């Protein structure tokens, strides 16, 4: 057992609207077998466990491990392409790079970079699009298993509308997905996500094969994109002859409590109702939305409708792996919307970057906060190398203010240590 002594901030509550900051200025967190056994004021905990080793983490702030619910493994090197909307950006930046992952040795390099940057940013759990090539997906599962990361990913499948090298058939998509899931789903800290790229690049038969794969792999997730870009939406509706984008997925037998759909910038009100009925979540990716000019996110609309909203960095359309930065973008986007926006508090930013992701993935009984019984997935923010953060923390007069400074000023350089399931991984 180890007793960690630190300032600990996490959130309690089950929605963005009702979450609250839980502050332990001088906490003792007793961790045994990777799980938080007990938590309380350090004085109490050290009296209760007098003989256990103590790790004192002075000067830092401990937060739960961050949860990224949308990003792309093969786009680690595709960040930084500016000036194009979604479909042009895919063609010019993302898809040429994704084709390079046909080469397993290149895919292994990318997988290593992906895991490294994920952990450097303090992300302990991620739902990520794998690659269009099974050996590349195998490589990222292997890299995640070795690093101890909680990674949910899968073979990205498409059978139209993309360069030939990225296409497959519904039969091969099913067979290769099943093989990957049988090898990795439920092993180490890994899970399988059935991942059609988006309806625009999938036939009805492909989406039906995805639904069949999900039925064949109990506990598998389903993830894709939705309602990101006006041109994309119009083309999907025309291709499928559906009244709204979501119907292209539901008609195929997809969308349930395991579902995380990225973006949803231009939903019909009826689509929000269907997402709520089915318990599906939306991954909000504000920096990507701004970079691609896809539109602002209707956070208020989603919260009012009762849709679970989590955060995604959407690497590589987004600007990096940091969910601290991504939460900042969410905050700024909502501020820019004025009265139509949803003003986010520091507690809500932390909720979005942690518990909201855990809930979107159905993992909230295990991760997302540092309460008793939860996995010890944690990060330590240290301001030593960030004078602006250091200065703001010195003058902040409350934990809420300190957390606001962290979200305003921090990035991967400030994540000093990372634990997953009690294991220090960085």
168: partner contacted, choices ligand GUN, Zn ion, none (Cβ within 5-8 A by kind): none
Half-sphere exposure of 63 (CA within 13 A, CB side): 33
Identify whether 238 is preceded by a cis peptide bond (ω within 30 of 0).
no
- Of 181-200, which residues contact ligand GUN (CB under 6 A)? 197-198
Distances (CA, A) of 293 to 262, 263, 314, 383: 15, 12, 14, 33
Q: Which stretch binds ligand GUN (CB under 6 A): 42-50, 86-94, 268-276, 328-336?
A: 86-94
Between CA 382 and CA 387 the distance in angstroms is 11
Beta carbon nearer to ligand GUN, 236 or 405:
236
- For CA atoms 267, 272, 274, 280, the dihedral sign is positive
Minimum CB distance to ligand GUN, residue 126 (Å): 15
Half-sphere exposure of 165 (CA within 13 A, CB side): 10
Between CA 278 and CA 298 the distance in angstroms is 20
217: partner contacted, choices ligand GUN, Zn ion, none (Cβ within 5-8 A by kind): none
Instruction: Give all strands (DSSP E) within 120-240, no chain letters.
Output: 123-129, 150-154, 156-157, 190-196, 221-226
Residue 420 DSSP SS3 = strand
244: partner contacted, choices ligand GUN, Zn ion, none (Cβ within 5-8 A by kind): none
Pick one of 228, 244, 271, 377: the residue that binds ligand GUN (CB under 6 A): 228
Beta carbon nearer to ligand GUN, 288 or 354:
288
CB 115 within 8 Å of CB 352: no
Pick one of 288, 348, 355, 375: the residue that binds ligand GUN (CB under 6 A): 288
When asked if residue 329 is in the footprint of ligand GUN (CB under 6 A), the reply is no
Binding mask 247-266 for Zn ion (x = CB under 5 A): ---------------x----
Between CA 213 and CA 225 the distance in angstroms is 18
CB 309 within 8 Å of CB 276: no
When asked if residue 297 is in the footprint of ligand GUN (CB under 6 A), the reply is no
When asked if residue 314 is in the footprint of Zn ion (CB under 5 A), the reply is yes
39: partner contacted, choices ligand GUN, Zn ion, none (Cβ within 5-8 A by kind): none
Q: Which stretch binds Zn ion (CB under 5 A): 93-101, 118-126, 198-206, 311-319?
A: 311-319
Q: Applying CB under 6 A, what is the total number of residues that bind ligand GUN?
A: 11
The single residue listed with the structure tokens 């855990």 is 358
Minimum CB distance to ligand GUN, residue 33 (Å): 38
Q: Which stretch binds Zn ion (CB under 5 A): 91-99, 153-161, 306-314, 391-399?
A: 306-314
Between CA 407 and CA 411 the distance in angstroms is 8
- Of 143-172, which residues contact ligand GUN (CB under 6 A)? none
Beta carbon nearer to ligand GUN, 138 or 228:
228
Between CA 375 and CA 354 the distance in angstroms is 13
When asked if residue 132 is in the footprint of ligand GUN (CB under 6 A), the reply is no
Q: Which residues bind ligand GUN (CB under 6 A)?
A: 72, 86, 90, 94, 197-198, 225, 228, 288, 314, 317
Q: Which residues bind Zn ion (CB under 5 A)?
A: 262, 314
């Amino acid at each position: 057992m180890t007793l960690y002594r630190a300032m600990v901030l996490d959130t309690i509550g089950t929605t963005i609207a009702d979450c609250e900051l839980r502050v332990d200025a001088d906490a003792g967190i007793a961790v045994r077998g990777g799980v938080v056994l007990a938590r309380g004021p350090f004085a109490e905990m050290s009296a209760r466990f007098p003989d256990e080793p103590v790790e004192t983490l002075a000067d830092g702030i401990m937060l739960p491990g961050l949860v990224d619910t949308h990003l792309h493994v093969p786009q680690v090197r595709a960040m930084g392409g500016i000036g194009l909307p979604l479909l042009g950006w895919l063609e010019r930046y993302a898809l040429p790079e994704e084709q390079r992952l046909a080469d397993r040795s290149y895919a292994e390099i990318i997988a290593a970079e992906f895991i490294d940057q994920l952990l450097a940013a303090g992300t302990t759990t991620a739902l990520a699009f794998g690659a269009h090539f099974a050996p590349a997906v195998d490589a990222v599962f292997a890299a995640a298993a070795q690093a101890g990361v909680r990674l949910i990913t899968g073979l990205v499948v498409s059978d139209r509308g993309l360069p030939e090298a990225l296409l497959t058939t519904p039969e091969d998509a099913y067979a290769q997905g099943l093989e990957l899931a049988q090898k990795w789903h439920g092993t180490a800290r890994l899970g399988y996500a059935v991942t059609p790229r988006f309806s625009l690049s999938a036939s009805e038969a492909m989406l039906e094969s995805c639904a069949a794969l999900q039925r064949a792999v109990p506990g598998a997730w389903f993830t894709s994109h939705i309602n990101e870009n006006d041109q994309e939406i119009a083309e999907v509706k025309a291709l499928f002859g559906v009244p709204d984008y979501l119907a292209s997925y539901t008609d195929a037998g997809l969308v349930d409590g395991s579902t995380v759909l990225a973006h949803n910038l231009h939903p019909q009100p009826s689509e929000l109702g269907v997402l709520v009925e089915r318990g599906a979540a939306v991954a909000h990716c504000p920096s990507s939305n701004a970079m691609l000019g896809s539109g602002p996110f209707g956070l208020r609309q989603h919260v009012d409708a009762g849709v679970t909203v989590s955060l995604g960095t959407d690497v590589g359309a987004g600007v990096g792996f940091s969910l601290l930065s991504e939460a900042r973008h969410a905050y700024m986007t909502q501020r820019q919307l004025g009265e139509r926006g949803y003003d986010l508090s520091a507690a809500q930013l932390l909720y979005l970057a942690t518990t909201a992701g855990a809930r979107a993935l159905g993992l909230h009984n295990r991760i997302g906060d540092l309460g008793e019984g939860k996995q010890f997935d944690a990060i330590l923010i240290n301001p030593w190398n960030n004078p602006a953060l250091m200065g703001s923390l010195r003058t902040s007069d409350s934990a809420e203010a300190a957390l606001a400074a962290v979200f305003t000023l921090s990035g991967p350089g400030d994540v000093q240590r990372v634990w997953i399931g009690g294991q220090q991984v960085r």
